[in-house]
Amino acid sequence: MNSTDELYDKIKILARSLGIVDIGIADAKLWNTDPLVSSRIKTTGRPESILPTAKSVIVIGIPIQRAIIETAPSISYANAYKNINTMLDQITERISLELNILGYDSIYIPRDGYHGIEGLKDSPSAFFSHRHAAYLAGLGTFGMNNVILTEKYGPRIRFSSVITTAELPYDSPMTKELCIKCKKCTKVCPVSAVSDQMYPSKITKKELCIDFAAELAKKGISPCGACIRVCPVGLDRDSPIPTDEAKELIQSYVK
């Protein structure tokens, strides 16, 4: 076992102790060479612009339990979404600090690099894309709703990233196409924001999605979650879900 493998094992053990099992590594240079990513991500949003000596990007994911997403939009999903974001920030910061202790420059990227829904209205994209990082780290491929689909959870997983000067064993982008083009995400979108063509040839109409999220936020049940709720991709589709009566009760709790 070489030193890069040993370091990666340390990171995986640390991540697992913090509750993370979904982890991948992307070569920081791929942002400049991968056709899909280099065509979509501006130079300022690439790892080497944020940490000029970057060599690797560690991407971790936390799944959203299907029993919760089945109630979306709801207070249950809104709280899970917020808690997962907080956990991702805490865990990526812990990984970054550990790498710093081991002598590597590292920086964790906040899960949501903007100030709430109002911030998104002014600038509809975060300064760093975790979904593109997850794609380059081999964790999944894009679906019609522009999010990453994974084999285990479909789109029901959220990602965050650590940029580091540590050279780690890189994963490669997944070549298997996971989206089955059923267009359920397109049909279920309450504001017709999701295109019926594949990303990146067509992208979600973010302004429509953001405006709807703002309306839901007034009720305390943002974000929407409809497009990831209906996606048939993922082994978690076999997980048990609440009864219709329970979902109706959970969805009744709004401001």
Stretch 135-146: mean pLDDT: 96
Cα dihedral 134→135→139→140 (10° resolution):
130
218 has pLDDT over 70: yes
Q: With cut-offs at 50, 70 and 90, classify the pLDDT of residue 112.
A: confident
Q: What is the identity of the amino acid at 214?
A: A
78 has pLDDT over 60: yes
pLDDT (0 to 100) of residue 255: 79
Distance CA 168, CA 93 (A): 18
Number of domains comprising the chain:
1
> 159-212, pLDDT tens digit by residue?
999 999 999 999 999 999 999 999 999 999 999 999 888 998 888 998 999 999
Distance CA 167, CA 99 (A): 11
pLDDT (0 to 100) of residue 115: 66
- What percentage of residues in the chain have a pLDDT greater than 70? 95
2 has pLDDT over 70: no
> 12-57, pLDDT tens digit by residue?
999 999 999 999 999 999 999 999 999 999 999 999 999 999 999 9
pLDDT (0 to 100) of residue 126: 82
pLDDT (0 to 100) of residue 201: 84
Distance CA 38, CA 34 (A): 6
Q: What is the pTM of this model?
A: 0.94
125 has pLDDT over 80: no
Could you list the residue range(s) of the whole structural domain that residue 78 is in? 3-251
Cβ atoms < 10 Å from Cβ of 231: 26
Kindly report the average pLDDT of the chain as a whole number: 94
Q: List the alpha helices (DSSP H) in the chain.
A: 3-17, 30-33, 35-40, 47-50, 66-69, 75-101, 116-122, 130-136, 184-188, 206-218, 226-230, 244-251
- Residue 236 in contact with residue 154, Cβ under 8 Å? yes
122 has pLDDT over 90: no
